[in-house]
Structure 1
Amino acid sequence: MKDDHTRVFPNAHHDIVTARGIPDSPQTRSKAYKLAFADDAFLCRDELRPVRLQLELMKPEIMLTEAGIDSTIVLFGGARIPEPALKDTAPTEKLAELSKYYDEAREFARLMTLKSLAGGGRDDVIITGGGPGVMEAGNRGAADAGGRSIGLNIVLPHEQSPNSFVTPDLCFNFHYFGIRKMHFLMRARVVAVFPGGFGTLDEMFESLTLIQTKRMKPIPFLLFGRAFWEEIINWKALARAGTISEHDLELFHFVETADEAIQVIDAWRADNHVTSRPAHP
């Protein structure tokens, strides 16, 4: 952002303030008179959808760059998975059983954040959907380590208000799922997927598709909970049918614990001579 002393043209915000002080009249009260970029009703018109898409792409990108976030560790996972202390209130026995992955997500985020801080805190910053469940666990683990974390919320009828562990200045809100998913991966160095529902499956398969089709560079891709993932997805059947290749089954790794996940990441980085650059899609 340019300093006002170096500007040639007026500051847009100053013009908004100036326009508020103009004498009231039928002309100044009209919809036409409002500055276009300060007119909420105009910006929400269907014809302005391309502009809104661009704004949702640009705002987080600019703010993450200004915050010095160079790369991220992505945590996907279910909003309905409770922390173990609350598992007795879970509506199903299976959800109560899956509560152990809340602790694993929290510990994984804590350990990765400690490693990030040791390297200056610009790389391997935890990013989640910013909501409850596994997302909360990820942001909480980063906070346990004394580090920053990112939350990418989206406007939904339920569930998706920010959890209290997201770094406030790195808590974003979205209208478009597609742009939100793009921001998950633009700085990604690792994707860790915990048990979840439709949203988690959507995020997982889109990310895998980008890697499979080489639209995104390979990165460590971790699926926590082999039993869960093999029960709901018959991976080998896809390969047998020929709808994916046997090689595609090597795009991801099953892990059970945070420590095991970090071992996989460290080995992958050593084998691929990775230092600190993300795999931009």
Structure 2
Amino acid sequence: MSTDSADEQGGKAGPAAKFGGPVMFRRDRKPDGRTADRNLLDTRQDSGWVHTDPWRVLRIQAEFVEGFGALAEAPPAVTVFGSARTPIDHPEYAAGLAIGTALSEAGFAVITGGGPGAMEAANRGCSEAGGYSIGLGIELPFEQGLNDWVDLGINFRYFFVRKTMFVKYSQAFVCLPGGFGTLDELFEALTLVQTRKITRFPIILFGTAYWSGLVDWLRESLGGTGKISPADLDLIQVTDSVEEVVRIVTGETGEGTDR
């Protein structure tokens, strides 16, 4: 079989191609001459290969398999985001407790990032109400660990794998006041829904005093200059009511999920 290619218009042969497995090389690009079998079976090699990108793909794959396997039979769930720095005596911690309890009583499992603060509060409220409390942790340079109220916990190396689990296994997102991590998850969810990469589902901001400045900025700076459409603002709902959170999630206000 020839490795030359022909130009469809002029019939001119292209440069010869060489292959290293599924990868094609042309011109001055060359495979290293080692077959995949040799790379696998040869023990006389530098152990640094386990830190290369192809090897990391296997770790990433393993994280997806582990996450899918652990969460596949979990009941319908709602993810609650919020700051890890929320003190236990803060009203936002009490709000997390109440939301976790209410969602559990409504028949939902509660998923959080598994850390302390607002995440712990939501897990605790769910667990104390007899619900299914889930924590999806992340490897960080500083030790955080999963809080004691997590019934099913998974620690991930990669943020993007963890984010996939949040989106795949959640019926709704509830965002308590939080920092960059909460904002990251919030805007990723908004982008996925806006671009119709996922079916629309409720995205709730809890705490009008905390979130109103952000919502005003979205309306005036983004909406006012045409960066987003007016309908995009409808993807977000803001409330101070735990009961309203449950009504939105269950669809009693007409804004619930159809996922």
Bigger relative contact order (CA 8 A; separation at least 6): 1
Name the Cα RMSD after superposition: 2.3
Q: Work out which of the two has the higher radius of gyration on C-alpha atoms and give 1 or 2.
A: 2
- From 28, 31, 43, the counterpart of 1:32: 43
- Measured in 2, the distance between the counterparts of 1:264 and 1:271 equals 7
Compute the displacement of 1:70 (Å). 4.0
Runs of 4+ in structure 1 displaced over 6 angstroms?
none
- From 109, 115, 119, the counterpart of 2:106: 115
Are 1:79 and 1:159, in contact at CA under 8 Å, matched by a contact in 2?
A: no
Partner of 1:200: 182
Q: Does 1:250 align with 2:234?
A: yes
TM-score normalised over the length of structure 2: 0.76
Q: Are residues 270 and 43 of structure 1, via their aligned partners in 2, closer, same or farther at CA, if it must alter by over 3 Å?
A: farther
1:74 is paired with a residue whose SS is strand
What pairs with 1:31-70 in structure 2 (closer than 5 Å)?
32=43, 43-65=50-72, 68-70=73-75
Structure 1 regions of 5+ residues with no counterpart? 1-29, 34-39, 85-98, 117-123
What pairs with 1:173-212 in structure 2 (closer than 5 Å)?
173-212=155-194
Compute the displacement of 1:251 (Å). 0.4
Letter in 2 for 1:106: L
Letter in 2 for 1:252: I
Are 2:249 and 2:256, in contact at CA under 8 Å, matched by a contact in 1?
A: no
- Measured in 2, the distance between the counterparts of 1:136 and 1:156 equals 17
What pairs with 1:121-140 in structure 2 (closer than 5 Å)?
124-140=108-124
Compute the displacement of 1:159 (Å). 5.4
User: Percent identical across equivalent pairs?
Assistant: 36
- Measured in 1, the distance between the counterparts of 2:249 and 2:57 equals 38
Partner of 1:73: 78
TM-score normalised over the length of structure 1: 0.70
1:35-88 deviation line (CA, Å, top 9, x unaligned): xxxxx97654433111111111110111222xx21421011111111122xxxx
Letter in 2 for 1:249: L
Are 2:106 and 2:246, in contact at CA under 8 Å, matched by a contact in 1?
A: no
1:131 is paired with a residue whose SS is coil
- Measured in 1, the distance between the counterparts of 2:243 and 2:255 equals 20
Partner of 2:208: 226
Moved more, 127-136 or 100-109: 100-109
Letter in 1 for 2:153: C
